[in-house]
Structure formats: structure tokens, C-alpha cells
Structure 1
């Protein structure tokens, strides 16, 4: 019997690190060199097939990185099941910004949220300022998933989201809100799904590196 699950995923990070480009590559397998900055947040959906009988549907909130929109971020990561915090491997300051987003998630998001730290723009490795060792060490210290990818070439992008899908707990939601979502209700920025299940589930955690 086919099983379908729905989870809320939010992307966070400094402006111009490539959050929207990663999502566009994941959802539509496209890349735009001249993509405009996100205003507020953008909403997209995409599904991944874990196996022949299990499908994960991501409700993706791609947030703006500009400082003037930061106050809106809690609206989008509230009740999120998972988050991808993106930095640019060619800009060391973007990793520091990613650290601040991760601290905020650790303080204010759901304690069970799965956080992936993702270094984007590996196609520009000749201009690298953030080493793999530095980022991976930080991720291990904070118990985060870690990976690198290139939205431009597509390298590693599917791996990021597939690794998250494999780590999500496929268990029945406990809250009344989660149960309502499990019956098929869609959720907005302020009410993420807590593991939407259309059948009986079993837990299926995976490793924490892409």
C-alpha cells in the first residue's frame, strides 16, 4: 500500500547565497543567473519518492534574506519540520549569518526540527572562503546535517532534500492540529504539518550527512 507524508520545510540564510536558486533547481530543475531577490517569502511544493511505497511531499517556504524581512522569519519557520540553512562557500560572512539563523532555530523553532546546513556555489570552488572542514566541524558540534551543492550545475541539490526526507520521522502526529493536517488539510506559514500521514507509518531515520 502506498504511503504519503507531508512536511513543512523552510529555507533560511543571508541574501544572495542562492536559497531560491536551490529551490528552483530542486522543484523545476532550472537555474536563472539573473534571479531577483525574494520579497518576504515564496511558497513551492515538491515530492520525493523514498521507495516504491513511500512518498514525501515538501511544503517549501523560501524566505527572503534581507535584514528588513528578518522579523517575518518566525512566521515561516514556526511549526516547520525541517530547515535548510544556506551559506555561500565563497563568502565567509555568510557562514556567520547561517550560524545566527541556526541559533535562532535552536531557541525558537520546534525542538524536533531537522536542520541541514548547506554550502551553495560549489561551482565557484576556486573562490572558496569556507572550507569543508570548518563547516562540517561546526555541523557536527551542533548535531546538524551538512552538505554542499551547486544550484547552477545541480550537483548535490537532490541529495540535500533526499537526505532530509530520509531523516524525517514517519510517525503519526500527536497534536490535534497535526491530526487535522494528517487528514489532508493544507498548512500555511503559521501552521506546519507535523508529519502528515495517510496510512500507518513506521520510523525511518537515516544518517546526518548528505
Structure 2
């Protein structure tokens, strides 16, 4: 039986194919598969990580779909999440617009004060980058969130996002 000091429910939200599932897979297995299939509803998994002050944290990871037609299914998870990771594809020209829509959902469905982290994904695809980090930091600041960048392909920044 795993021993841990705290357990947190982490909800990952964001557009279809923005990298949520790859982020969870990289955290849990230290692997990357570019052929990840789209999530339907919510996928559940668990990861145990070392947090600050050498505390062991158990994370219940709720990888939600980005498909519009399934969003009504996922709204109940917002209410009980301990924190939300809003994943944004840095290679998408609609990254800022996507943030605005997801931030509205977070504000509507999450309990007040639920921590939010804006996670820029796919930073290994620098040649395809469509939005710069400064713009996403601005979005995060306006939402009262922090911003981090990750690459599930290389592992850069993944553990720090959690």
C-alpha cells in the first residue's frame, strides 16, 4: 500500500489535442506516445509524486475531454477538484481564445478559491509555436493563476506542473 502525506484531485481541462493526456502519461510513466487517442468523458488515473518539504503527494488525475459535446458530463468534476490545470497548446493560433472559454468554465463551475495553473504544452515544437509565453503569462495573471510550460515529448517542465 502506498503511503502519502496528502491526496489531491487534479482536473485537467483544455481543447481537444492540446496535450492533456500526454501530460498525464509522461507524469505517470515517463513515456510519450504521439499517437494518443482522444479522451471521451473523463479518464481517471493516479500518480504519486514528491512535493515540497519532502511530502509524498497522491494525485488523482482527472483527464477531461476537450470535445464540446461531452462538456456537460465533465462539469461535476470541477466542483470537487482541489486544483485545475488548464492546458493550452502553444502551437495553436487559437490558444488565447481557448483560454478565455475554459477560464469562463472554471469560474462558473469550480468552488471559489480553487487553485488554477495555466500549462503551455508542446514547447518542444518551437518551429510551430503560434503564441508566445509572455502572452500566456498575461492570460494567467489576469486569471490569478501561475503559468508554466511543458513538453510531454521531452519531459521538460512536466513534474513542475503538478
TM class by shorter chain equals over 0.9
* Structure 1 Cα separation of the partners of residues 96 and 67 of structure 2: 15
CA RMSD between the two structures: 1.6
Contact 2:4–2:58 under 8 Å retained in 1: no
2:77 aligned residue: 76
How far apart are 1:50 and its partner, in Å? 2.3
Stretches of 4+ aligned residues off by more than 4 angstroms: none
Contact preservation (8 Å) 2:96, 2:139 = no
Distance 1:52 1:86, change over 3 A: closer
- For residues 109 and 151 of structure 1, do their structure 2 counterparts lie closer, same or farther at Cα, with a shift above 3 Å needed? same
Larger radius of gyration: 1
Q: Secondary structure at the match of 2:125?
A: helix
User: Which ranges of structure 1 fall in alignment gaps of 5 or more residues?
Assistant: 162-210
Partner of 1:122: 123
TM-score w.r.t. length of structure 1: 0.72
What are structure 2's unaligned runs of at least 5 residues? none
Pair 68,131 (structure 1): closer, same or farther in 2 beyond 3 Å? same
Distance 1:58 1:3, change over 3 A: closer
Question: Does the aligned pair in 2 maintain the 1:47–1:55 contact within 8 Å?
Answer: yes
Q: State the number of aligned residues.
A: 160
User: What is the TM-score when the length of structure 2 is the normalising length?
Assistant: 0.92
Mapping 1:134-173, distance limit 5 Å: 134-161=135-162
Does the 8 Å contact 1:11/1:61 carry over to 2?
Answer: yes
Q: Offset of 1:52 from its aligned partner?
A: 6.4
Q: Deviations over 1:49-103 (max 9, x none)?
A: 2256522111110001111111112122221010100111110213312221112
CA–CA separation in structure 2 for the residues paired with 1:45 and 1:66: 23
